[in-house]
Structures are given as structure tokens and as C-alpha cells.
């Protein structure tokens, strides 16, 4: 297994991050534990979750896993704050899982950052979070307030590193500059959607990460399941039929993509992950295995090497924004 540094830090993570959105929802505790054990046995050490996945239940699944296996220190654990859990269920369930509701239990106010972190720690049954990520930009919170809260959490030993998610390039730059002015390490990673079907981050987000030394952790490398559905399989899609949700032009592209993958002798999902993972600016694509088979498939994708001719064909089929800004749209 090849490990790489997370951005400009000395922290080592594997070539894939195990996303957990299906745990506590589509995947039982038993199967979730089995998938996590297989991932760790294969050498993957990076687990990504969020406090709003399945109303906090996903973090609770991970907490039970760490308590059972006693292997928390073998893992680089990442979670997020910003949104409140989306489904509170009963009041007892909300109190048990630490679910938060109310006008101050969302966003990136200092109050919410501190309280959301404490709630995540309880659910995860751990003393610290390796990578604590802002799940979205909060236009009402100044970075002075945001960094003050994160500084407190670092000083308390509750978090080790801070990451961003779904930030624009200029927002990453502003966050880094504000942190530097406070003599704080600031963000070390950005998590954003990236796939053959969605290459917008090539304009400014990826260049900003490269320039400021942030690791880039792409999620949804299967394009919400559409790329896997090129062969009629809704892999990774939370609900519904993937092809049924595609537009006619998308279905035409997916059909041509399936033909290309047949020529390669590889499954479309594996080629999609291989394409993302092969980008030198990518640290660890996030996979969201619902089953052991999907984990095995993603691990196989790491073995696929796409030659220049194949990359050119993929680029013709799924055109990106034309390079980095501003040259992508100006001289």
C-alpha cells in the first residue's frame, strides 16, 4: 500500500478514504464492521464521516466499531461540522446520539464548532479527531471567529488538523491567509466533488490546494453513481435508478463510456475511480462502499493504470473546463 502526505503535513494517509455515509442506513453494524476491518487489513487507514450523516447515527456506528476493535489509533479519522443532523427521530434518540437542533446548532459560529465537536467525540467514542472539516462555507462567520474556535479545540487536544469542504478557490485562499496572520496552521485539506462528470474544481479549487499546500480529497468519484450505472448498476447512488436520472446527452456519453471500459476489460466504476486516483493533485478519493464487493472493486481500481491514449479518449468524452483559470476562458 502506498501512503502519501496529507497536504503540507507529515500525516500519512492511504490512497483511498473510506466514506461511511451508508453505515447506519443501508449497511448494518455487522457489515460495516466487516468492511472497515477489510479496509484496514488492506492497508487503508483513512476513514471519513460527518456529524449529519444519518442524523449522527453513522458516527455512532464508528464509535461502536472503535470500542469493539480497540483500534482507534490505527485510523486517521475525519469528520465534519456545519449542518445539523437531518432526522432527529424521537427526543430520546436525539439526546442519545447527541443530535443538535436550533438556530445556533448549524453553521460555523464558535458556539456551534465547539459544541458540534464535543457531540461528535461522544458519538465516535474517542478523545480526539484527526481531521475536523468545515462541511461548507458559512458566509455569516468571519474567519477570525472560525479560527479562534479551532485554535481552542487544537489547544484542548480535541482535534489535530482542520480541513475545508465545498469551498471555492478564493475561499480557500482567504481561509489560509487569515490563519497565517494568526500564526495558525489553518486548513490542510479540501474535500470536494470531483469525477469525470464534474470537473469544475480543475478551474480554481485544485490550483488553490496545490499553491497553499492542501491535500485534495475528492468525493463522489462515481458521479453520484452514474458512472457505475453505465452498465446499469446504481453503485454508490443513495436512491433511485441512476440511468433513469440521467439526461439523454448523459446517457449517450455513458453508453460510449461503457464501450470504452469494455475495451479495457474493466468495470466502469473501477475506471472512474482509477481516473480520479491517478490525478497527481489528488490525495485520496473517498469511496462509499455499501458492501464488501464494492470495497474490493475500489481496491482493484488502484491497480488500473490508464495510458495516455485512454486518458485522451476520456477527456474527449467528458470534457473538463479547459484547464485552470484564467487561461481556461481568457488568453
**CATH classification at residue 19:** 3.20.20.100
DSSP 229: G
Asked if the bond preceding 169 is cis, omega within 30° of 0, the reply is: no
Is 193 a domain residue?
yes
Assigned C-alpha cell, 107: 453553521
For residue 190, give the H/E element and its range.
Answer: strand 187-193
- Predicted confidence (pLDDT) at residue 180 exceeds the cutoff of 80: yes
Is 53 catalytic? The answer is: yes
Give CA 227 to chain center in angstroms.
Answer: 18
* Cell 503535513 belongs to residue: 9
Query: What confidence score (pLDDT) does residue 66 get?
Result: 98
Tell whether 242 is covered by a domain: yes
Distance CA 13, CA 44 (A): 8
| Total structural domains within the chain | 1
Q: Between β-strands 129-134 and 76-81, what pairing exists: parallel, antiparallel or unpaired?
A: parallel
Query: Would you say 59 and 96 are in contact if contact means Cβ atoms under 8 Å apart?
Result: no
- 44 in any annotated domain: yes
Say if 324 falls within a structural domain: no
Give the chain's radius of gyration (CA, Å).
Answer: 20
What digits encode the pLDDT tens for the residues 5-55?
A: 999 999 999 999 999 999 999 999 999 999 999 999 999 999 999 999 998
In a domain, 40, yes or no: yes
Do 227 and 195 contact (CB within 8 A), yes or no? Answer: yes
Q: Residue 56 falls within a domain, yes or no?
A: yes
| C-alpha to C-alpha distance for 108 and 115, rounded to whole angstroms | 11
Q: Which domain holds residue 150?
A: 4-317
Q: From the candidates 53, 132, 212, 257, which is the catalytic residue?
A: 53
The 10s digit of each residue's pLDDT in 80-98 is: 999 876 544 445 555 555 5
Q: Residue 187: is its pLDDT beyond 50?
A: yes
pTM of the predicted structure, to 2 decimals:
0.92
Are 286 and 20 a contacting pair, CB within 8 Å? no
Residue 184 DSSP one-character state: -
Q: Is residue 329 one of the residues assigned to a domain?
A: no
Average pLDDT over residues 112-119: 96
Does residue 111 sit within a domain? Answer: yes
Is residue 52 a contact partner of residue 84, using CB atoms and an 8 Å limit?
yes
Q: Is the pLDDT of residue 280 over 60?
A: yes
CA distance 126 to 62: 10
Amino acid at each position: 500500500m502506498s501512503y502519501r502526505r496529507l497536504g503540507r503535513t507529515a500525516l500519512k494517509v492511504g490512497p483511498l478514504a473510506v466514506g461511511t455515509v451508508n453505515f447506519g442506513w443501508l449497511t448494518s453494524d455487522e457489515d460495516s464492521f466487516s468492511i472497515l476491518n477489510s479496509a484496514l487489513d488492506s492497508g487503508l487507514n483513512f476513514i471519513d464521516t460527518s456529524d449529519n450523516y444519518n442524523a449522527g447515527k453513522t458516527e455512532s456506528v464508528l464509535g461502536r466499531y472503535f470500542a469493539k476493535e480497540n483500534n482507534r489509533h490505527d485510523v486517521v479519522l475525519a469528520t465534519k461540522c456545519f449542518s445539523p443532523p437531518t432526522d432527529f427521530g424521537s427526543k430520546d434518540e436525539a439526546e442519545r446520539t447527541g443530535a443538535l437542533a436550533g438556530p445556533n446548532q448549524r453553521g460555523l459560529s464558535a458556539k456551534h464548532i465547539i459544541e458540534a465537536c464535543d457531540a461528535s467525540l461522544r458519538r465516535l467514542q474517542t478523545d480526539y479527531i484527526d481531521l475536523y472539516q468545515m462541511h461548507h462555507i458559512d458566509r455569516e462567520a468571519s474567519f477570525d471567529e472560525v479560527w479562534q474556535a479551532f485554535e481552542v479545540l487544537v489547544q484542548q487536544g480535541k482535534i489535530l488538523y482542520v480541513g475545508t469542504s465545498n469551498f471555492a478557490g478564493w475561499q480557500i485562499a482567504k481561509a489560509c491567509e487569515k490563519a497565517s496572520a494568526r500564526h495558525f496552521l489553518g486548513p490542510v485539506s479540501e474535500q470536494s466533488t470531483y469525477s469525470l462528470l464534474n470537473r469544475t474544481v480543475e478551474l480554481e479549487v485544485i490550483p488553490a490546494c496545490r499553491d497553499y499546500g492542501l491535500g485534495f480529497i475528492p468525493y463522489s468519484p462515481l458521479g453520484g453513481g452514474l458512472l457505475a450505472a453505465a452498465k446499469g448498476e446504481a453503485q454508490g447512488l443513495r436512491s433511485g435508478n441512476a440511468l433513469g436520472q440521467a439526461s439523454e446527452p448523459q446517457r449517450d456519453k455513458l453508453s460510449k463510456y461503457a464501450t470504452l471500459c469494455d475495451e479495457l476489460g474493466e468495470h466502469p466504476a473501477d475506471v472512474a475511480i482509477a481516473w480520479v486516483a491517478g490525478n497527481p493533485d489528488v490525495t485520496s478519493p473517498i469511496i462509499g462502499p455499501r458492501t464488501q464487493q464494492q470495497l474490493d472493486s475500489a481496491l482493484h481500481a488502484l491497480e488500473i493504470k490508464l495510458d495516455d491514449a485512454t486518458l485522451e479518449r476520456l477527456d474527449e468524452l467528458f470534457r473538463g473546463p479547459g484547464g485552470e483559470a484564467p487561461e481556461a476562458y481568457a488568453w
